[in-house]
């Protein structure tokens, strides 16, 4: 089937069938890996095909074409990590530019903003963002970019992508959405008006906790060229082996996200009945519709343990056996994380406590194991810390 015809198929079919290296002549059902750093040219200055793999590589291109289609974009770029992809977006800014972003953000993103990009005189304002007018109020004449994450990490705040991008457009401000938690199967930021969709592909796109990668997807060709410049001229692109692994991962993205969602809903049901649980942070809780057009909740659940100090919460996090105590998320295996000492430890305590990342907060990445085993595991962990 031609690629053109395949691009008109449904998401699930495209996730499985796109991502081939065109005309590789082998008739292989799955894509090959092209590790070559360089390519034979027909004459000096010939740029009609591949030239050098920092510019473009057949395996990476196969992946990027598939990702562009799944996000309903036109161009995708794969980077060596989610943070490298974020940095490529900021490579388009200039000293003095101002960015409005969210208080609740992945800790490493905030660290890049505060400890790296501020050195280049990029200025940041952090807003709650659940009310889109927060973005409007923070705009200055230097604002160039809205950077959002939805659901946010780890408090699962939902941001109205359509409303925020509409505000951005009236002020000539680009909107980028970190779509790591939802994935394009559940939420398509570009269809909601965003200019850039970003992923830490180390999470659900890879899906098996076996690669580190980042992705940017855009619709606009001019923006694509600017970001492509960042990719090839700055040089943090993804290598072909990881590109191939991600291609394998995305073939099952839709099946995984459905099971992650079913399992996480059952876990939230249980947490609601658990007397030691205080707050639960989850998209679409209490059967309420999810307000930002996500089609299902995904696999991330955070909650706080009632009256628990640091030691007790640490003990809880160390008392599961199916949930593995580890950073990261989005793999088939369930993980448990203590944000205050792990993923969000780089944020000063006063700052994180103020917006809700307290010492008694636990974040679960609910995997696709049998739900009964996950529920028993959590029950046992609560029993271990009962007073």
Ligand X SMILES: *Cc1c(COP(=O)(O)O)cnc(C)c1O
How many residues bind ligand X (CB under 6 A)? The answer is 15
- The residue among 166 and 351 lying less far from ligand X, judged by its C-beta, is 351
- The residue among 165 and 179 lying less far from ligand X, judged by its C-beta, is 179
> Which residue in the shown chain puts its C-beta closest to ligand X?
82
Q: Report strand pairing: 335-337 vs 361-365.
A: antiparallel
| Shortest distance (Å) from residue 290 CB to ligand X | 17
**CB atoms inside a 10 Å sphere around CB 112:** 19
Give the span between the Cα atoms of 166 and 189, in whole angstroms: 12
Structure tokens at 14: 């495209």
The footprint of ligand X on residues 132-161 (CB under 6 A) is 149, 153
Cα 68 from chain centroid (whole Å): 15
- Eight-state DSSP code of residue 147: E
- Buried/exposed code over 30-53 (b: 16+ C-beta within 10 A; e: otherwise): ebebbeeeebeeeeeeeeeebeeb
- The residue among 178 and 359 lying less far from ligand X, judged by its C-beta, is 178
Give the span between the Cα atoms of 205 and 253, in whole angstroms: 7
Residue 53: enclosing H or E segment and its boundaries?
Answer: none
Give the span between the Cα atoms of 21 and 162, in whole angstroms: 35
The footprint of ligand X on residues 53-82 (CB under 6 A) is 81-82
The answer to the question of residue 104 lying near ligand X (CB under 6 A) is: no
The answer to the question of residue 180 lying near ligand X (CB under 6 A) is: yes
How would DSSP label each residue in 99-111?
Answer: EEEESS--HHHHH
The answer to the question of residue 214 lying near ligand X (CB under 6 A) is: yes
Q: Is the distance from CB of 107 to CB of 343 less than 8 angstroms? A: yes
The answer to the question of residue 357 lying near ligand X (CB under 6 A) is: no
| Shortest distance (Å) from residue 361 CB to ligand X | 15
| Shortest distance (Å) from residue 199 CB to ligand X | 8
Among the listed ranges 50-58, 125-133, 197-205, 365-373, the one in contact with ligand X (CB under 6 A) is 197-205
The answer to the question of residue 178 lying near ligand X (CB under 6 A) is: yes
- The residue among 89 and 276 lying less far from ligand X, judged by its C-beta, is 89
Give the span between the Cα atoms of 182 and 361, in whole angstroms: 21
The answer to the question of residue 234 lying near ligand X (CB under 6 A) is: no
Of these, 200, 237, 264, 319, which contacts ligand X (CB under 6 A)?
A: 200
Query: Mind telling me the catalytic residues?
Result: 54, 106, 178, 203
Among the listed ranges 40-48, 101-109, 162-170, 260-268, the one in contact with ligand X (CB under 6 A) is 101-109
Residues 6+ apart with CB under 8 A from 373: 322
Of these, 106, 281, 282, 316, which contacts ligand X (CB under 6 A)?
A: 106
Q: Is the distance from CB of 17 to CB of 9 less than 8 angstroms? A: yes
- The residue among 83 and 194 lying less far from ligand X, judged by its C-beta, is 83
- The residue among 65 and 178 lying less far from ligand X, judged by its C-beta, is 178
The answer to the question of residue 202 lying near ligand X (CB under 6 A) is: yes
Give the span between the Cα atoms of 93 and 145, in whole angstroms: 9
| Shortest distance (Å) from residue 84 CB to ligand X | 7
- Helix 371-385 to helix 253-273 angle (10° resolution) is 40
Residues that bind ligand X (CB under 6 A): 81-83, 106, 108-109, 149, 153, 178, 180, 200, 202-203, 212, 214
């Amino acid at each position: 089937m031609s690629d053109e015809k395949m691009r008109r198929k449904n998401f699930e079919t495209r996730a499985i069938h796109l991502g081939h290296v065109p005309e590789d002549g082998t008739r292989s059902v799955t894509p090959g890996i092209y590790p070559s750093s360089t390519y034979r040219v027909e004459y000096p200055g010939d740029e009609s095909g591949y030239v050098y793999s920092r510019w473009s590589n057949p395996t990476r291109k196969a992946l990027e074409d598939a990702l562009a289609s799944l996000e309903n974009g036109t161009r995708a770029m794969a980077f060596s990590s989610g943070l490298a992809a974020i940095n490529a977006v900021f490579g388009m800014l200039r000293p003095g530019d101002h960015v409005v972003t969210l208080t609740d953000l992945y800790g490493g993103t905030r660290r890049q903003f505060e400890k790296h990009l501020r050195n280049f005189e990029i200025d940041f304002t952090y807003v709650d963002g659940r009310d889109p007018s927060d973005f409007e109020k923070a705009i200055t004449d230097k604002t160039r970019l809205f950077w959002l994450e939805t659901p946010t990490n780890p408090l699962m705040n939902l941001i109205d992508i359509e409303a925020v991008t509409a505000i951005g457009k009236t002020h000539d401000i680009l909107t980028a959405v970190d779509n790591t938690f939802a994935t394009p199967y559940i939420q398509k930021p570009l269809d909601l008006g965003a200019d850039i969709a970003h992923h830490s592909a180390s999470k659900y796109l890879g899906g098996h906790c076996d690669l580190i990668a980042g992705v940017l997807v855009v619709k606009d060709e001019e923006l694509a060229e600017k970001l492509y410049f960042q990719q090839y001229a700055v040089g943090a692109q993804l290598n072909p082996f990881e590109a191939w692994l991600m291609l394998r991962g995305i073939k099952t993205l839709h099946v995984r996200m459905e099971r992650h969602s079913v399992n996480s809903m059952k876990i939230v049901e249980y947490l609601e009945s658990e007397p030691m649980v205080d707050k639960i942070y989850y998209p679409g809780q209490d059967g309420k519709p999810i307000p930002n057009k996500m089609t299902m909740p995904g696999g991330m659940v955070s909650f706080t343990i009632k009256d628990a100090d640091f030691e007790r919460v640490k003990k809880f996090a160390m008392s599961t056996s199916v949930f593995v105590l580890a950073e990261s998320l989005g793999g088939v295996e369930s993980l448990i994380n203590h944000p205050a000492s792990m993923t969000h430890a780089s944020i000063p305590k006063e700052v994180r406590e103020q917006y809700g990342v307290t010492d008694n907060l636990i974040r679960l990445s609910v995997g696709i194991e049998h739900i009964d085993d996950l529920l028993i595991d959590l029950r046992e962990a609560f029993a271990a810390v009962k007073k």
